[in-house]
Amino acid sequence: AFVIRSDYTRSPSASSAAFAIPPTSSIRRSINTTPSSRISSTTRSTAAALAMSFGAQELANNALRQSPSTTQFYTHKMCPYAQKVWIALEAGNCPYEMQQIDLYGSGGKPDWFLDLNPAGQVPVVTCFGGAKILVDSEYILTRIADGVVEGGDALRGGSDDVEDRVDAWRKDINNKVKVVGKEAVLRGGKNVDELMELLTSIDGNVVGPYLTGESVTVADCSAFPMLWRLDQEFGPLTDEEHGCGNIRKWLDKCGETDAFKKTIQSAWW
């Protein structure tokens, strides 16, 4: 099997050997800058065939996208970052296949997975038959909402106002809640008051029933793994004790929604 990356580098999945396929623009540039006397008819016809094949790439991508097996999701089910992507794939009814990666086994991560992501981190999503390899949970969420995976564009928000709220929530979760929440867990709750003040400050931003309105967006996918874990660790979060009534209602709503419920694990850190 071969993996085709977006930079046109293709390599065997179980080998470090690689060769590059130049983009059509490079082929055309080479032809345009080479004296016509030195370009054989065979070279021209070969270049033209390659240009035509690249011109048909979008048609091929659309065809590949129709097959559930072409979107592969590499994950570890206990990983909160991978859980974000899992929720998005489920909420968007995206066709995908999941493969569990053993992050802690004695044999280490498989070579073929390190070929996909040399950092060895999950999640990884490959789509368009392997033509695109996506890493980093937040980047993957953005690309899913862009429609790279069939069905994912439903998670974008649908209007400029909603998309602004989506962006604001994602920034608050990743730049604030994740930082303070992780510290609270590592320090055994010693700064839990700071965490609760932060959660109280963003509680009013919940539109309801989901974070930005009536539908699930990538904001919910981004926020749920961390807020759910903090609720399990330091909660239950309530309006009476923590001033988090809206977050409480949202967590309960997500817990009743199949796309979220399916991803919840009994061990979560």
d(CA 266, CA 80): 13
Q: Which residue do the tokens 């996506």 mark?
A: 134
Q: Where are the alpha helices (DSSP H) in 173-206?
A: 178-186, 192-203
pLDDT of residue 237: 97
d(CA 1, CA 133): 14
d(CA 135, CA 71): 13
26 pLDDT higher than 70: no
Instruction: Note whether 106 and 166 are within 8 A (CB).
Output: no
Instruction: Note whether 228 and 237 are within 8 A (CB).
Output: no
pLDDT of residue 70: 78
- List the 19-20 sheet strands across, edge first: 2-4, 9-12, 19-20
Integer angstrom CA distances of residue 228 from 6, 155, 159: 35, 20, 27
267 pLDDT higher than 70: no
Q: How far is CA 74 from the centre of its chain?
A: 11
| Burial letters 129-149, b for 16+ CB under 10 A, else e | bbbbbbbbbbebbbbbbeebb
Q: Which residue do the tokens 């059509």 mark?
A: 24
- Report the predicted TM-score, pTM, of the whole model to 2 decimal places: 0.75
Residue 105's identity, in one-letter code, is: G
The tens digit of pLDDT for each residue in 63-82 reads 555 554 579 999 999 999 99
d(CA 256, CA 32): 61
54 pLDDT higher than 80: no
Choose from 10-19, 108-117, 236-245 the range with maximum mean pLDDT.
236-245
266 pLDDT higher than 60: yes
pLDDT of residue 129: 79
The tens digit of pLDDT for each residue in 213-245 reads 999 999 999 999 999 999 999 999 999 999 999
pLDDT of residue 1: 35
Q: What share of the chain is helix, strand, coil (3-state, %, to 5)?
A: 55, 10, 35
pLDDT of residue 60: 53
